[in-house]
Amino acid sequence: MCPGPVESLDPSPERCALIDPAQVAVVVPAWNETGKIGDVVRKVPRRWASTVIVVDDCSADDTAGEARAAGAEAVIRHERNLGVGAGIRTGLLEAKRRGLRFAAILSGDDQHEPDELPRILVPLFEDRADLVQGSRWLPGGATPGIPPDRRWLTQLYPLLFRLASGFPITDGTNGMRAFRLDLLDDPRVRLQQDWLDRYELEPYLLFQVIRGRYRVREAPVTVRYHGRGTTKMRLIRDGWRILRPLVFLRLGVRH
């Protein structure tokens, strides 16, 4: 499968200097991530992003308290568990409310490397992309500790995404991405739908941005598998959740 537009591994210091952190929010959805969320917040270099927004999806532990103690600029708690998609949506709306221009999304379980944020931010500040999707499968990406089942599933999904959308993505389920927040003003991008509350929102957003003929690029990133509850996904239940946006949007069942 030939990839679509691809970014180089690490932007030069001159290109990184284009990033204005005052315009960037990092959104981190989290559920029961005590012991991890503090590391995520502390690792975000404030030279790349001025604002870290953690959305605690009604955790049973002290995720919210740990995020605050680690220095998150905003911690929002859902009163009931809604799902990772709802967490991302809440964080994005808060970023827009604060007047930020760009949002980057990182997982709350410390899978991503915040030092790699320039890879997905620089193309936005250079006005060469509207959305930059992280890919663990591009040269320069990495998957330390990946289990065999996750390897083949995360390589199969881009093939299905390409069949549905026509876009040659290499990693459609990677949670690390960055984009212009004004994409959410497009009436075709309807994140407020309840069916997007869980794993559906991320592939839905990517699909609709591609369908809207916005500029989408990929950049190599690291996804680290800790072997200690790295993912809360369940193969059958959540596998359908990430597949159904492709089915529904391709067939016109949902919009």
**175, two tokens:** 């949670």
**193, two tokens:** 């739908």
With respect to residue 219, please indicate whether it lies within any of the assigned structural domains: yes
Distances from the Cα of 160 to the Cα of 148, 191, 197, 202, angstroms: 19, 22, 22, 15
Q: What is the pLDDT of residue 239?
A: 80
Residues of the chain scoring pLDDT < 50: 229
With respect to residue 188, please indicate whether it lies within any of the assigned structural domains: yes
Q: What is the pLDDT of residue 221?
A: 98
Instruction: Tell me the C-alpha distance between 126 and 130, whole Å.
Output: 10
Q: What is the pLDDT of residue 4?
A: 79
- C-alpha gyration radius of the chain: 17
Instruction: Tell me the C-alpha distance between 41 and 44, whole Å.
Output: 6
Q: Which residues contact 177 (CB under 8 A, 6 or more apart)?
A: 104, 105, 120, 131, 132, 133, 134, 202, 206
With respect to residue 5, please indicate whether it lies within any of the assigned structural domains: no
Instruction: Tell me the C-alpha distance between 57 and 233, whole Å.
Output: 15
Q: What is the pLDDT of residue 192?
A: 97
Our count of domains for the chain comes to 1
With respect to residue 29, please indicate whether it lies within any of the assigned structural domains: yes
Structure confidence by residue, pLDDT tens digits, 145-182: 999 988 999 999 999 999 999 999 999 999 999 999 99
With respect to residue 4, please indicate whether it lies within any of the assigned structural domains: no
With respect to residue 64, please indicate whether it lies within any of the assigned structural domains: yes
**62, two tokens:** 């002290």
Instruction: Tell me the C-alpha distance between 25 and 45, whole Å.
Output: 11
With respect to residue 205, please indicate whether it lies within any of the assigned structural domains: yes
Q: Which domain holds residue 89?
A: 13-251
CATH code assigned at 155: 3.90.550.10
Do 22 and 73 contact (CB within 8 A), yes or no? no
- 3-state secondary structure at position 201: helix
| Residues paired with 30 in a beta bridge | 56
Instruction: Tell me the C-alpha distance between 227 and 223, whole Å.
Output: 12
End-to-end Cα separation, the chain, in angstroms: 27
